[in-house]
Structure 1
Amino acid sequence: MGASNDQRSAILSAAEECFARYGLAKTTMEDVARAASVSRATVYRYFADRDSLVAESVIRRARANMAAARAQLARYPTIEQALVEGICADIRRGHLDPLVHRLVSPDEMTLSTRLLIDTGRAAELTRELWEPFLAEARAAGAVRADLDLRLACEWLSELEILYISQSGRDAAALDRVRAKIRAFVVPALVTDPNAAPVYR
């Protein structure tokens, strides 16, 4: 099992190198096999096609940051700050991750929509981070009692993808996003913006 996981991880790492070198659309399974020093059949043993390699790479990178993102959420003193700064931190991570940024760029949005949105993978990753936080805040009365957490997380994932793909990376652009989250997202989700978050 361990050797199998190691080989799978090595193939994913090789795929990420190829995506950076050739681009998502131009990378072939042969390229990945060559970069990983394995046969093409070995790559196919773990991944059905290039799209599954892209999707699994994004998921792996997101989950590698999950513990740090949860710890960061727990440090904010109010639910408003947790939502505003937590979402902005997700957007910043997307801007800084070359694979994610490339995937949600205008040139690759068709691929991004197919791999992340249509399959529900983006919403799934967002739920892993935000659903426990929102559930505890709801139990504490800081978030609307009637809030559909699954739908809320799906909405947050779509907002994050939108802002990763379309907003600038500078501080002024992020401040505009921050103002929009504070004005529109926070009132839609919370009952008391000043309530202390309870997720730990």
Structure 2
Amino acid sequence: MTARPSAAVERILDAADACFAHYGIAKTTMEDVASAAEISRATLYRTFSDRESLLTALVRRRARMNIERSRARIMALDSLTERVVEGITLNVRVGHRDPLMHALVSPEQMALANTLLSSTGLATELTHEFWEPVLTAARDTGEIRADLDLVGLCEWISRLEIMFIVQLEDTPEDTDRIRRLVADFVVPALTAAG
């Protein structure tokens, strides 16, 4: 994991978070963020070259706030199936409940989401950060195939999670549907003989 951002960067990210929540992703400007952070636009641009790099840093920070706690929660489960099913389900529910993440993957923001999450590799990076210890432990104990490319697998998982956030609601019925789909299709792909 990278070093913790400076207090100045944290203040900018706090301001950006507040602005994106207040104005929305599409309408927040760098001027709004600079004003909320009580810094000049020049200072903001020295720290973040554009709105996309600022949003990327904010998404990275928000995701990392949950990674350790969520991973510990799924690692306490007894089986690989439970860890994978509940881990993906938990990540989708967190994505639904986080206003910024949910807005980012909305149809209105799909082009920006594609740039930030897919083209930059951010979604794969954060998914790998979450799953790598879980999957490495499962590979070491023979619970998953030894030939799996973990980075490629994490890219697939991130795309699946984004799809679930976009296409399904945060309802008990859809949560159960995610669990069934992951148990029926994802888990067998991890454990099937290569």
TM range (shorter): over 0.9
* Cα distance in structure 2, aligned partners of 1:111 and 1:34: 23
Return the offset for 1:190. 2.0
The count of aligned residue pairs is: 189
- 2:135 — aligned with what? 134
- What's 1:8 paired with? 9
| 3-state SS of 1:126 partner | helix
TM-score by length of 1: 0.91
Identify the residue that residue 150 of structure 2 maps to in structure 1: 149
Question: How large is the Cα RMSD of the aligned pairs?
Answer: 1.3
Q: Note the C-alpha offset of 1:191.
A: 5.0
Which residue of 1 is the match for residue 116 of structure 2? 115
Please list every run of 5 or more consecutive structure 2 residues that lacks an aligned counterpart in the other structure: none
Query: Take 1:57 and 1:165, find their aligned partners in 2: how far apart are those partners?
Result: 20
3-state SS of 2:131 partner:
helix
CA shift, 1:148, in A, is: 1.2
Distance 1:34 1:166 in 2: 36
Identity of aligned residues (%): 51
Q: Is the 8 A contact 1:141 1:191 kept in 2?
A: no
> Are 2:45 and 1:44 aligned?
yes
CA deviation vs aligned residue, 1:60-116 (integer Å, no higher than 9, x gap) = 011111110121121111000000001000001101111101001111111000011
Gaps of 5+ in 1: 193-200
1:150-180 deviation digits (Å, cap 9, x = unpaired): 1111100110111112211111011111110
Q: Deviations over 1:102-137 (max 9, x none)?
A: 001111111000011111010000001101211111
Greater RCO (CA < 8 Å, at least 6 residues apart): 1
Name whichever of 64-73 and 118-127 sits farther off: 64-73
* Inter-partner Cα distance in structure 2 for 1:163 and 1:141: 28
| 1: CA distance, partners of 2:42 / 2:16 | 15
Equivalent residue runs for 1:8-157 within 5 Å: 8-157=9-158
- Matched-pair contact (CA < 8 Å) for 2:71–2:87: no
